[in-house]
Amino acid sequence: MKTQFLGALLLILSITSLHAQNLVIKGLVQDDLSKDPLIGAVVVNQKNNNYTVTDAKGNYTLEVDYEDIILIKMLGYTTLSIKAKEVGETISMQQDDYVLNQVIVSASRDAQKREEAPMAITSIGATMLEESKVQSLEQVINKVAGVVMADLGSEQHMMAIRQPMSTKSLFLYMEDGLPIRPTGIFNHNALNEMNMAVAQNIEVIRGPASALYGSEAIGGAINIITKTPSLVPTAKVQLRGDSYGYQRIDAVVEGSTNDGKLGVSVGGYSAKRENGYLDHSDFDKTILSAVLQYQVNESLKLTSNTTYMKYYSDMGSSLDSTSFYDRDFTSLHNFTKREIELWRSTFTVDKVWSENSKTVAKAFFRTNTLGQIPSYRIKNDWGNPAVAKGEVNESSFQSYGGVIQHNQKIPSLKTTIRIGASIDYSPTAFWANYIDVDRDETGRYVGYTETDSVLSDYQTNLLNTGLYAQVEVNPVDRLFITAGVRSDHFKYDYKNNLDENAFSGAPNSINYFNAVTPRIGATYTLLNGLGFYANYSVGFMPPQVSELYRGVKVPTLEPSYYNNAEVGSWYELPKGLGYLELAYYNMNGENEIVSVLQDDGSYENENAGSTNHEGVEAALHFKPIAQLFLRVGGSYAEHTFEQFDTGTEDLSGNTMANAPNWVANMELTYKPKFLKGFRAALEFQKVSEYYMDNQNTKKYEGYHLFNLRFGYQFKGFDTWVNIMNVTDELYATRVSKSAWGENYNLGAPRTFQIGIGYTISKNK
C-alpha cells in the first residue's frame, strides 16, 4: 500500500513538474520607431514550428515551454529570436532596409509583396528616413538607383527618373496614393509641399505608371506615405540646424485610446534659412498635418488626413560661368520671390467585406495659391540698359474629387481583380502683370515698379475622370502575371478675361483629351531567391494649361505618349546577407510638344517630337555582418532625340540636355556592437558629365560628393552630426546653356548639420 501511494505521489509530482514547464506568452508586436502595432507578424516556436499571427491590434497568444526559442518574423523587418522565458509584454521590431521582400502599396494601391510587382519600385523605409536626418527630400530620394533629384535650394527641385533633369510634367508626386496637384498645372517644385515630419516611408516607381495613376506618371512616380497614429501615446521633438543659417523644429504627438479604436496624430515642422551660402536665398516654411483614424469595427476603418502649409522663399538668380568658378555667389536679383499657401484634406473609408473582398474610397479637397515675382521672367530692355521688364504672377486652384477601388480575390482561380474610378474637378486661375525693373550700375536688378499692363488673366476649369482595372493571376507557384488598363477623359474649360490683342489673347474655348493606357507584366521567383520580371507599359501626358493658353493662340494639341518595355531581375542573397536588383528599360516618347516656327514668324506648340530613353539600373544591398551595411546603386542611361524639328533647327539624333549617362549613389553604414545606438555612415554620390544644351555644343563635367553621417540613440534621446560635401567640392546641381549664356544652379558647399531629438512614449 505504501509502495502504491509513493508511486502515485511521484506520478503527481512528475506531472506537476511537466506542467510547470508550460508557459502561455502573449502581448503586443510593434514597430520599434513608430510604435504602430504590426498586423500579420508571425510568432513561431522554433522547437515544434507551432505558430500564431498577430491580430488587427498587433496582439498574439502562444503556448510554449519555458526554455523554447521564439522567432518573430515579418516582411521588411529583422527577425527576432528570444527565449520564451524572456519574452516581455511588448516586442519591438526594427525595419530592415536590406530585406528584399518588403510590402509595397504603390504598385496596386494595396499592400502586396515586392516580388509580386512586375516593375522597378523601391521602398525607402522608416529606418533610412530616420537615420539619414535629411533637411530636404533629395538627400534621401537620391539614394534610389537611377534617380537624380536636383536640389534648387529652399526645398525646391528638379527631377530625373528615366528622363533628363526637367521642369516638364513627366513625374507624378503623390501623398498616400493621391496626386497632390491636378493634371494640367504641374509644378516641378511640388515636393516642397510635403510634410517630411510625418512620412512613414517613400515609394519610388521608375517607369510609366499611368495604367493605375493616370497622366504624368511617365518617367516615374513618388508616393509619400503618411504614418498612422501609434497605438501608445508618443511625443517626439527634434531641433536641428546647419552652418549656413538653417534652423528647424519638428514635433509629432500621437496616440490611441485604450481600446485601440481611435487614433490621433498631429505633426509637422517649421524651417527657415537666413544668410545662406547663396545670396538672396532666405526661406521660411511651416507645415502641419493632422491624422484622425477610427476603427468602427473589425471590418470598417475611417481615416482623415489634413495638411496646411505656408511657404516663402527668395528666388535668387542662377550664376553665370564666371561667377560660379570665381565662387562669387552674389545674386543678380534682390526682390524676386515665391510664396505658397495650401490646404489639402483627404477622407478615407476602408471596408473589408470578407477575407477576399475589400473596398477603399477616398474623397479629397485641395486649395493652393502660388504667387511669384520670378527671376527667370526678367529680361533686359536692350534700348535702355538701366531698366528691364519682368512680371508678377499668381496661379491658384481648388480641387474636389475622389478615388474608389475594389479588390476582389478569387482563391479558386488564384486571381485578384482590382477595379477603380477617379474624378478630379479643379477650377484654376492665373494672372500675370508686367513690372518695370530697375538696374544699378553693376547690372543687378534692385527694384521694380508695378504697371497696369496685364499679360494674362484667365480661368480654366479642369475635369479629369478615369476608370481602371488590374488583374493579378498566380497560375502556378511563384509565377505572378499582372495586366491593367486605364481610360482617362479630360475637359479644359477655358475663359479669357482679356481681349484677343493681349499677350495671352486666346479666345474662350473648351478642349477635350482622351487616353487609354495599358500595362502587362509578369514575375517569377525561383526557390533559391532568384527572380525575374518583364513588363510593357504606356504613359501619357496631356498638354499643360500654360502650353495651351499662355501667350499663344489656342493650338491643336494631343496627349504625348511614352511606350516602355523593361526586363529585370533580383537575387536574394543566402543567409539574409542582402539582395541584388537589376533592370533594363527602353522607352519611346511620341507626339511630344514642340514650339515650332510658323511661316509668319510666330511660334506655335505642336505635337512634333519623339525621343528615346534607354538604360540599365542596378542596386546592391549587402549585410556581411550585423554591424555593417553596404548599399550600392547606379545607372547608365542614354536620352536622345529621334525626331525633333522646331522649324529653326533640327535636333534629331542629338543627346538631350541635362542627361548624364552615369549616376551612382553608395553608402557604407557601421553600427558597432560595443556602442549600442551609435551609427556612422559614409555616402558617395556621382553624376557624370552631360550636355548643357540640346544643340550639344558644350558639356558640364558633372560632380562627385562625399557625405558623412554620425548618430547616437540612447533611450529616448537621438543626436546626430552630418557633414555634407566633405571635400567642399564646387559643383552645380544643374547647368544649362542658352543664347543668353550659361546658368549654374549652385550646389551646397561643405555643410555641418547638427541636431538633437527626444521621443517619449508609454513603452519607454
* Average pLDDT taken over every residue of the chain: 89
The pLDDT score that the predictor gives to residue 3 is: 54
Mean pLDDT of 179-189: 91
Residues of the chain with CATH 2.40.170.20: 222-761
Res. 81 pLDDT band, cuts 50 70 90: confident
pLDDT digits (tens, 9 = 90+) for 451-488: 888 999 999 999 999 999 999 999 999 999 999 999 99
d(CA 763, CA 27): 13
CATH 2.170.130.10 domain extents, the chain:
103-221
Cell of 275: 544668410
Of 45-54, 260-269, 317-326, give the lowest mean pLDDT range: 45-54
Which CATH architecture does the domain made up of 222-761 adopt? Beta Barrel (2.40)
Count other Cβ atoms within 10 Å, centred on residue 610. 18
Judged against a pLDDT cut of 50, whether residue 86 lies above it is answered with yes
* Position 356 pLDDT exceeds 90: yes
Q: What is the pLDDT of residue 659?
A: 94
- Give the pLDDT band (50/70/90) at residue 18: very low
The three-state DSSP-derived secondary structure of 674-727 is CCCCEEEEEEEEEECCEECCCCCCCEECCEEEEEEEEEEEECCEEEEEEEECCC
Average pLDDT value for residue range 369-388: 85
Top CATH class of 2-93 equals mainly beta
The number of C-alpha atoms within 13 Å of 644 and in the hemisphere containing its C-beta is 21
- Mean pLDDT within 299-303: 95
Q: Are 72 and 60 in contact (CB under 8 A)?
A: no
How would residue 283 be classed by pLDDT, with cut points 50, 70 and 90? very high
In this prediction, residues 520-545 reach a mean pLDDT of 92
CA angle 141, 228, 397 (to 5 degrees): 65
Per the CB < 8 A criterion, the answer to whether 640 and 588 are in contact is no
pLDDT band at 763 (very low <50, low <70, confident <90, very high): low
Q: Which residues lie closer than 8 Å to 677 by C-beta, 6 or more apart?
A: 712, 713, 714
pLDDT tens for 484-510 read 999 999 999 999 998 887 887 788 999
Question: Phi first, then psi: what are they for 24, rounded to 5°?
Answer: -105, 115
> What 8-state DSSP symbol labels residue 129?
H
Q: DSSP string spanning 60-78?
A: EEEEEETT-EEEEE-TTBP
* Residue 577 pLDDT exceeds 60: yes
What is the model's pTM? 0.90
pLDDT tens for each residue of 150-175? 999 999 999 999 999 988 888 999 99
pLDDT at 115: 83
Q: What pLDDT, on a 0 to 100 scale, did the predictor assign at position 16?
A: 47
Is residue 187 helix, strand or coil? coil
Residue span(s) of the chain under CATH 2.60.40.1120 come to 2-93
DSSP 8-state assignment for residue 17: H
CA dist., res. 70 & res. 62, Å (int): 10
For range 6-16, the mean pLDDT: 50
* pLDDT of 20: 44
578-597 vs 560-573, strand pairing mode: antiparallel
Pick the CATH number of 103-221 from 3.90.1150.10, 1.10.10.10, 3.40.50.720, 2.170.130.10: 2.170.130.10
pLDDT of res. 422: 97
Q: Please provide the DSSP assignment of 582-642 as one string.
A: EEEEEEEEEEEEEEEE-TTS-EEEEEEEEEEEEEEEEEEEEEEETTEEEEEEEEEEEEEEE
For residue 288, give every residue at least 6 positions away whose Cβ sits within 8 Å of its Cβ, in sequence order, or none. 195, 266, 267, 268, 307, 308, 309
Residue 4: DSSP 8-state: H
Query: What confidence score (pLDDT) does residue 174 get?
Result: 95
- The whole-number pLDDT of residue 595 equals 60
